[in-house]
Copies of this chain bind each other. A is one copy, B any other.
Amino acid sequence: MAGTDSDSEAEFLARYDPREFDPAAVTVDVVALTIRDDALHVLLVQRGEPPYAGQWALPGGFVRAGGHRGPAEDLPDAAIRKLSEEAGQHLGQIHLEQLGTYGTPGRDPRMRVITVAYLAFAPELPEPLAGINAQAAAWTPLPLLKLAHATGAQQPGTTRKLAFDHAQIIADGLERARSKLEYTPLATAFVTEPFTISELRAVYETVWGEPLHAGNFHRKVLSVPGFVESTGQTTQTGGPRGGPRARLYRRGDARLLHPALLRPGREDEVR
């Protein structure tokens, strides 16, 4: 805007009514999911100021739009920057995808804010002890959160209420993650290479929230072309409570799982 002002702006607005133009604040928020201790966790930061002071919120912030304050920043870059700041380390290689955009008037009590939400998946990361910012950031188990559609077992009384509409955003991200496990190799983004079939199964069980049949899962994963690729190696020891050494795999080259691994027993949720 500054410099190239009303003239070229009016040109741009030619097919609209220029008087309809209001600037809005554009932010990115990131739903970063990981698995710790067999539970799905999301990265949250604690707010220090009102509104929602003391409550937890998604990491996020303003997109550098490219006004007089510096170069313009692409939306995914802004998401990675915000996430990296709060996670305490640079996460350039993380799996990131756009989740959706939330712009209902009043979702922020003070001004019109349009938030582009991103969804990130990572293998277990260290607790963000010393973030760039002063405020607390922490990986938080999803069962502790008050989400729109209950994730399953929640301890009442200990649930944390989230700022803004972030509970809805997390619920949407969770449903996206559950769905993408079915037809993409997304589960491999939650483990470090090399991994075992059991580790992969633990990802599915944790995200879907239900146990899977170990034998059938094993055969199924190996039967999907390009899902995983053998390393020829095995673990050095058996499991902590017994069992043989497991073969190790790395990610395959498939971008879609065919046939898909469908969630069991969803006939009810169809109407």
Are B22 and A67 within 8 A (Cβ)?
yes
Interface segment out of the listed A108-116, A119-127, A142-150, A194-202: A108-116
| Interface residues in A, total, Cβ within 8 A | 66
- Bound state CA distance, A57 and B267, in angstroms? 41
Residue of B nearest to A271 (CB): B253
Confirm or deny: A211 has a beta carbon within 8 angstroms of a beta carbon on chain B.
Answer: no
Are B103 and A63 within 8 A (Cβ)?
yes
Are A105 and B74 within 8 A (Cβ)?
yes
A25, A57, A258: residue with the most chain B Cβ atoms closer than 10 Å: A25
Confirm or deny: A61 has a beta carbon within 8 angstroms of a beta carbon on chain B.
Answer: yes
Confirm or deny: A135 has a beta carbon within 8 angstroms of a beta carbon on chain B.
Answer: yes
**Count of this chain's copies in the oligomeric assembly:** 2
- Bound state CA distance, A220 and B183, in angstroms? 21
- Bound state CA distance, A256 and B1, in angstroms? 45
Are B258 and A271 within 8 A (Cβ)?
no
The answer to whether residues A12 and B271 also contact, given A69-B20, A114-B116 and a CB cut-off of 8 A, is: no
Interface segment out of the listed A41-49, A232-240, A241-249: A41-49
Are A48 and B14 within 8 A (Cβ)?
yes
Within 8 A of B (CB), among A76-108: 98, 100-101, 103-106, 108
- Bound state CA distance, A8 and B1, in angstroms? 24
Chain B neighbourhood of A63, CB < 8 A: 22, 24, 103, 114
The smallest C-beta distance from A256 to any residue of chain B, in angstroms, reads 5
- Bound state CA distance, A214 and B106, in angstroms? 50
- Bound state CA distance, A258 and B260, in angstroms? 14
The answer to whether residues A66 and B112 also contact, given A24-B26, A270-B225 and a CB cut-off of 8 A, is: yes
The answer to whether residues A47 and B14 also contact, given A20-B64, A24-B63 and a CB cut-off of 8 A, is: yes
Residue positions of A touching B, CB distance < 8 A: 1, 4, 8-9, 11-17, 19-26, 45, 47-51, 57, 61-67, 69, 71-75, 98, 100-101, 103-106, 108, 110-112, 114, 116, 133, 135, 225-226, 253-256, 258, 266-267, 269-271
Sample (15) of A-B pairs whose CB atoms are under 8 Å apart:
A8-B111, A12-B110, A14-B48, A22-B67, A23-B24, A23-B67, A24-B24, A26-B26, A66-B112, A67-B112, A73-B105, A75-B101, A114-B116, A256-B266, A258-B267
List 20 additional contacts besides A15-B61, A22-B66; criterion CB under 8 Å.
A4-B110, A11-B110, A12-B110, A15-B49, A20-B64, A20-B69, A22-B63, A22-B65, A22-B69, A23-B23, A26-B103, A65-B112, A66-B112, A72-B106, A98-B101, A114-B114, A253-B271, A254-B270, A255-B271, A256-B269
